[in-house]
Chains A and B, each alone.
Chain A
Amino acid sequence: MQNSEIITNLSRFIIVLLLQVLLLNHINFLGYINPYLYLLFILLFPFTGNKSLLIVLSFLLGLFVDIFGDSGGVHAAASVFVAWVRPWLLKFSFGVSYEYNAVRVSKGALSQQLTFISIFVFLHHLVLFSMEVFNVSHILLILQSTLFNSLFSILVIQSVILIFSRNS
């Protein structure tokens, strides 16, 4: 990675973390719906970047969110999972040669972006709420939380990507 890329990703790591734990974890729209914007870091990590590094960084990011939220390791587990499946999701959404065609998520077609973000967020939330509720008999609660939180997260993440890609 280039120096400028390292600085961009490092500052993005810190900004999404603070935004998540200080503001977004306390929105509680309709009682329990929060957008998990910190996924933006894992989503926007360079396509050609080191995959092992991404897994470790995602673990750390999730663990910090957990420490601030007293939730054990649920965010860390979900983040590690999506960081690991990210290459396959990229291949599925942006085509087999994604590493050469699109350099970043915001350069892809809107439909491709939306597919990628939706699957990504949904998988993350499914793991997150399964771990958080930790009880198979509450499967409906898990699915309900996953669905509503996913919709909110997808909306917020896609908006942020659209707004910030206009300028560059």
Chain B
Amino acid sequence: MQQILFFFIRNKNFLLFVILFAISFFFTVQSHSYHNNKFMTSANFFSGGVYTIKSGITDYFGLEDQNALLLEENRRLRQLLGSRIASDSSAIDSLPPDGPYAFASARVINNYYAKTKNHITIDKGRNDGLEIDMGVISSQGVVGIVSSVSANYATVQSILNTESQINAKLEKSGHFGTVVWEGKNPSEVTLIDIPRIAPVAEGDIVVTGGRSTIFPEGILVGTVATYQLAQGESYYDLTVTLFNDMTNLDHVYIIENRDLQEIRQLETTVEDAE
């Protein structure tokens, strides 16, 4: 017994190291698996508060750029509204009251884009109706997917995360693929699994595909910069330049799919039946 006690006392630093390293390793593995309930994220009271103070100071430096972006978005929306009124004045009244998607706005209080697994922290949380798996976009395109929420903050798994996979399609031909990030350039993503038969040209616009419950169809992603055949030669790998400047995010919108519950329920009943 004494021998064992002496062993522990003599090696206490080593044992301490092993235990703490194992805990860190556990946190790391947990952060890599997407659907786990994470608790070590910046969406907590402490770090969220610190980041809010920080962005309260630094936001003033980007006001001019952000104003320009919002103006540009207003202009685009106004144009859409204008063309709708011009084409058919009864269209506004006969529109369905609400689509399945609801939008909420939030501000980015912390933004990472230089790591291989990047996350963004925003200043809205469970109290504002946010839930895990909601989509996040900016005025210029896709940003990411909500990965954890606390009462007043949420973290977003950025599109610049090697674990992110977002369904997208070529706007012109409608061929579907998956957007992934290779971890190198924060302004470029890769669109994989586009069939060889699809007509691809540089400059083609890529939008979200609408085959997931997260993003509605037609949200902008980017333009095709280069493309080549993938290994096996039956699919294209497209390098896509993002419309979004992911290094300069401020105002973002969160998309809630009101039909999500219904779709999930339906899908589980189908799975159960099988």
Contacts and interface: CB of A to CB of B under 8 A. Distances in A.
Interface of A: 18, 21-22, 25, 28, 31-32, 34, 51-52, 55-56, 59, 62-63, 66-74, 76-77, 80-81, 83-84, 131-134, 141
A80 B20 contact: yes
Contact of A132 (B51, B110, B115): B115
Contacts of B247: 28
Contact of A52 (B13, B30, B32, B42): B13
Interface in B158-215: 183, 185-186
Contact of A73 (B31, B110, B112, B114): B31
A24 to B, nearest CB: 12
Contact of A55 (B13, B30, B47, B117): B13
- Label chain B's interface by main secondary structure: helix
A76 to B, nearest CB: 4
Contact of A72 (B14, B40, B114): B40
Nearest to A87: B13
Nearest to B40: A67
B17 A25 contact: no
Interface string B42-55: 10101100110010
Contact of A70 (B12, B26, B155, B186): B155
Interface in B15-57: 16-17, 20-21, 23-32, 40-42, 44, 46-47, 50-51, 54
A71 B20 contact: no
A133 B21 CA distance: 17
A72 B112 CA distance: 14
Contact of B21 (A21, A68, A77): A77
Given A22-B50, A132-B117, A72 B13 contact: no
Contacts of A34: 114
Given A67-B47, A68-B42, A73 B121 contact: no
A53 B12 CA distance: 11
B137 to A, nearest CB: 20
Given A28-B114, A73-B23, A51 B40 contact: no
B114 A76 contact: no
Contacts of B42: 67-70
Given A28-B247, A31-B185, A71-B28, 15 more contacts: A31-B186, A34-B114, A55-B16, A59-B20, A59-B24, A63-B24, A67-B41, A70-B31, A70-B42, A70-B121, A71-B115, A72-B32, A131-B28, A132-B116, A141-B116
Nearest to A60: B20
Contacts of B13: 51-52, 55, 84
Contact of A76 (B20, B30, B115): B20
Nearest to A134: B32
A61 to B, nearest CB: 12
B119 interface: yes
Contacts of B119: 69-70
Given A22-B50, A77-B25, A71 B183 contact: no
